[in-house]
Amino acid sequence: MTGEPDAGPAAATDRILVILHGALGDFVLALGACAAIRRHHAGARVTLLTTAPFVDLARASGYFDDVETDPRLPVWRFGAWWRLRRFLRDGGFARVYDLQTSQRTGWYFRLFDRRHRPEWSGVAKGCSHPHANPARDRMHTLDRLAEQLAAAGIGGGPGDPPLPDVSWLGADTAPFGLAADYLLMVPGGSAHRPAKRWPPGHYERLARRVAEKGVQPVLLGGPAEKGLLADIAGRCPGAVDLGGRTGFSEIAELARGARAAIGNDTGPMHLVTAAGCPSVVLFSAESDPALCAPRGPHVTVLRRPALADLSVEEAAAALGFA
């Protein structure tokens, strides 16, 4: 976050609520908007309502004074909805920024007493600061958030809100014992959308090519992807498998030290690019980079309707290993 704080509308005693559930890629893309809200309401107490996976990440950012967990329980769990209603009504919030803008969070607006609803930025019917663009669902996430905040009186100029920045996120990665020159590879992704993944054999061949150039391939992924990563690393001498061993902080730190990164359209690649790592992000017909790709001066997007048709040679060239 740079520049002097904006003169926000909130007094020092005001309370501001931000609603942002995730997934990881969406959460990272919204970090610039969160920074802009924090700057605009510099004197207020800002609370985030999010889901459990992002609580520590949100606290580390410094954008929020309080972070509350939303369990997002089913509608038939009346006790949970009652507790949420009480949290919203008793919170004393002067304004709410609904950055999730889902059907669910639209119902949160209705949990407030009609006579005492706070100012609300989002898409809930009847809210004070609606993002009324009918094309909002066809906008890139960053553009949509920028327009939503502008409608609420935040920014509106070039570079508002700023790109996601995770310079505040880091960890000690020395125990991994990596080489000085390494390339990050993120071959996993959503288990129920396999078409978003570049084939494992392509990653294996790319890892071999990189290793032959004297650069260490380093594979990142969650616990559910440990088998995939172990298989790729087992076929490439010199590759390092960090499957299931890295949290958000480690990923950001590894990204800052890497020569470059390549990966599918998946949440960790948003963290990697936000850390400033030169990155190649792979897209298939399953998702549209015009709506959700990471942005930045060092991001390259490669797309094919079927990712199996993207050659190892083209990916290697984009990484500088032609």
CATH number of 174-319: 3.40.50.2000
Encode burial over 132-158: b for 16+ CB neighbours within 10 A, e otherwise. Answer: eeeeeeebbbbebbbbbbbbbebbeee
Q: For position 50, what pLDDT does the model report?
A: 98
Per CATH, domain 15-151 is 3.30.70.1060 = no
The SS3 call for residue 168 is coil
Which DSSP string corresponds to 241-256?
E-TT---HHHHHHHHH
Residue spans per domain, the chain: 15-151, 174-319
pLDDT of 8 > 80? The answer is no
CA 305 → CA 196, 206, 276, 280, 281, distances in Å?
10, 20, 27, 17, 14
pLDDT per position as a tens digit, 133-153? 999 999 999 999 999 999 999
Asked if domains 15-151 and 174-319 share a fold, the reply is yes
pLDDT per position as a tens digit, 251-273? 999 999 999 999 999 999 999 99
Q: What is the pTM of this model?
A: 0.92
Q: Which residue has the higher pLDDT, 46 or 10?
A: 46
- pLDDT band per the 50, 70, 90 thresholds, residue 33: very high
- pLDDT band per the 50, 70, 90 thresholds, residue 6: very low
Residue that has been written with the tokens 């990916």 in this structure: 315
pLDDT of 307 > 50? The answer is yes
Mean pLDDT score across all residues of the chain: 94
Q: Is 142 in contact with 25 (CB distance < 8 Å)?
A: no
